[in-house]
């Protein structure tokens, strides 16, 4: 019991990082970019954040996102894709529900190929008394090639009891039945792989602002074709 109290103090009362972007009461902030390096946000009551991370090869070696939900009714939607060909990429996400009645959604998808290493470390923290919190987190990775490595560590720390939280993480390979289905229609193996990669990343595309979707879809296609 004593340990748990120390934990609470440690995580929940952790200070908001300096230089955090404050999204004021009822305002909305939308970002869609490589977002390399550390980024912190504070969401006041009724504020919303739509963030979409686009980490294409060479554009970033890592991102660290910290989101503090400090006012009731705040909503954070964090999504993103990372495509890694070589070197290391790390994505660290901390979402702190400091008050109740807020929603956070996370959806990340990564393709890791060649000799690349990717690590996802995601933590959702729900403070004591932050009741009626809804927090979800998903991280899926597609591994291509025998030397590629992906590590995913989803974590929930919940100190309130009336909450709805879930997390899911996978590391997998291309679906063989889909591959065969396409080949049986005359689509060559390589092209079938390209379509499957586009298919895998497509749920993230839905989080890209509509006016940029076409451009990002083209970038995705160009990127997966080069893998």
Name the site residues for other proteins (rule: CB under 8 A).
176-178, 180-189, 191, 195-196, 198-203, 205
Q: Can you give 83-139 as a three-state secondary structure string?
A: EECCCEEEEEEEEEECCCCCEEEEEEEEEECCCCEEEEEEEEEECCCCCCEEEEEEE
Cβ distance to other proteins smaller for residue 130 or 220: 220
> Tell me, what DSSP letter sits at residue 36?
-
**How many other β-carbons are positioned within 10 Å of the β-carbon of residue 143?**
19
State how far the Cα of 64 lies from the Cα of 43, in Å rounded to an integer: 17
Q: How far is the CB of 52 from other proteins (least distance, A)?
A: 16
Cβ distance to other proteins smaller for residue 10 or 185: 185
Cβ distance to other proteins smaller for residue 3 or 176: 176
Cβ distance to other proteins smaller for residue 56 or 159: 56
Query: At a CB cut-off of 8 Å and minimum separation 6, what does 190 contact?
Result: none
Name which of 222, 213, 214 is nearest 52 in CA terms: 213
Find the helix packing angle between 210-225 and 189-205, rounded to 10°.
Answer: 150
Q: How far is the CB of 227 from other proteins (least distance, A)?
A: 17
Q: How far is the CB of 220 from other proteins (least distance, A)?
A: 10
Q: How far is the CB of 136 from other proteins (least distance, A)?
A: 19
Cβ distance to other proteins smaller for residue 98 or 193: 193
Cβ distance to other proteins smaller for residue 184 or 211: 184
Query: At a CB cut-off of 8 Å and minimum separation 6, what does 29 contact?
Result: 21, 23, 41, 47, 48, 49, 50, 51
Q: How far is the CB of 226 from other proteins (least distance, A)?
A: 18
Q: How far is the CB of 164 from other proteins (least distance, A)?
A: 25
State how far the Cα of 165 lies from the Cα of 163, in Å rounded to an integer: 6
């Amino acid at each position: 019991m004593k340990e748990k109290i120390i934990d609470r103090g440690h995580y929940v009362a952790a200070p908001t990082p300096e230089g955090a972007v404050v999204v004021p009461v009822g305002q909305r902030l939308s970002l869609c970019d490589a977002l390399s390096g550390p980024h912190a946000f504070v969401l006041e009551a009724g504020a919303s954040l739509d963030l979409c991370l686009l980490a294409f090869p060479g554009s970033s070696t890592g991102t660290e996102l910290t989101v503090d939900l400090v006012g009731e009714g705040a909503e954070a939607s964090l999504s993103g894709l990372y495509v890694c060909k070589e070197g290391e990429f790390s994505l660290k996400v901390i979402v702190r529900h400091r008050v109740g009645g807020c929603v956070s959604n996370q959806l990340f998808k990564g393709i890791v190929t060649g000799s690349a290493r990717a690590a996802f470390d995601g933590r959702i923290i729900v403070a004591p008394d932050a009741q009626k919190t809804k927090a979800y987190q998903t991280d899926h990775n597609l591994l291509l090639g025998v030397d590629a490595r992906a590590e995913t560590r989803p974590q929930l720390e919940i100190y309130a009891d009336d909450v709805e939280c879930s997390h899911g993480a996978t590391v997998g390979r291309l679906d063989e039945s889909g591959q065969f289905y396409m080949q049986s229609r005359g689509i060559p193996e390589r092209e079938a792989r390209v379509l499957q990669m586009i298919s895998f990343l497509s749920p993230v595309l839905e989080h890209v602002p509509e006016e940029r979707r076409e451009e990002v879809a083209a970038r995705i296609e160009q990127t997966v074709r080069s893998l």
